Amino acid sequence: MKAGVIVFPGSNCDHDAWYAVNENLHGRAEFIWHDSANLGDIDAVILPGGFSYGDYLRCGAIARFSPVMKAVKKFAADGGLVLGICNGFQILVEAGLLPGALLRNRELKFICREVRLQTETTASPFTSKLEKGQILRIPIAHGEGQYFADARTLDELEAEDRVAFRYLENPNGSARSIAGILSRERNVMGMMPHPERACDPLMGSTDGLGILESMLSAVPALSK
């Protein structure tokens, strides 16, 4: 799998994602600058965590207008895999690639710690190597990670099996404890926890590798 890691001004988890793909997954990753008009020859896109454009307006609200996002939208529309992590999730929501919004954490404090996630579906290119109900230990690091959507959208996400992960102990007040969701076509996923920070034994957990391994196994099928 060759992944393109999008780098925005203010991204700070881009090298983490690059390392996880290259060193832990033994795939290939390259950086793509935010003003690039095309993505090149890649199999998947990763929008990493950080503070794109300083989050001065609203998390992801400025990044959605970056030139590269036009290419990301086309890539997703053509069936390409797009994973948004933390700030990347916020950008995907702002860009309209995923429904809902990410609000300030319930306690209005930045949270940085390991959490437990429950895998809600294995019917996606991001979770196929996991087991339904599998518990993952993955860190979070965000101040605006409270997932919000109206009741109708939440009902649709659940009815269509598009909730990828839920928090076991809801750290930020997210609606229905949602930690990650899928697009209707299931090729775009956004999640607030950082799987790239749980891919190496030195980090205390390798539970994030299952997500990247799922993407790896999906690439040959998508290219047929």
3-state secondary structure 81-142: EEEEECHHHHHHHHCCCCCCEEECCCCCCCEEEEEEEEECCCCCCCCCCCCCCCEEEEEEEE
Q: Which helix (H) or strand (E) holds 28?
A: strand 28-33
pLDDT at 55 (0 to 100): 85
Give residue 88's pLDDT.
97
131 classed as catalytic: no
What is the C-alpha to C-alpha distance for residues 106 and 7, in angstroms, rounded to an integer? Answer: 29
Residue of 13, 59, 86, 199 marked catalytic: 86
Dist CA 181 CA 176 (whole Å): 12
Q: What is the pLDDT of residue 221?
A: 65
Burial 16-49 (b: 16+ CB within 10 A, else e): bbbbbbeebbebebeebebebeebeebbbbbbbb
Residues linked to residue 200 through DSSP beta bridges, in sequence order: 205
User: Which pLDDT score, from 0 to 100, does residue 34 have?
Assistant: 96
Provide the pLDDT for residue 173: 98
- Beta-sheet strand order (sheet of 178-182): 28-33, 2-7, 44-47, 81-85, 188-191, 178-182, 163-167, 111-119, 135-142
Token pair of 71 as six digits:
């290419």
Which two three-digit tokens encode residue 104? 């300030």
Alpha carbon 10 to its chain's center = 17
| Helix, strand, coil percentages, rounded to 5, for the chain | 30, 30, 40
Active site residue 194: yes
Q: Hey, what are 200's tokens? A: 């190496």
Rg (CA), the chain: 16
Catalytic residue selected from 94, 120, 196, 213 = 196
Q: Of 144, 194, 199, 213, which one is the catalytic site residue?
A: 194
pTM for the whole structure = 0.96
> How many angstroms from the chain centroid is the CA of residue 5?
12
CATH number 3.40.50.880 is the correct assignment for the domain at 2-222: yes
Low-confidence ranges of the chain (pLDDT < 50): 224
Running DSSP on this structure, what letter comes out for residue 175?
A: G
211-224: burial string, b at 16+ Cβ within 10 Å, e else: bbbbbbebbeeeee
Active site residue 86: yes
d(CA 76, CA 2): 15
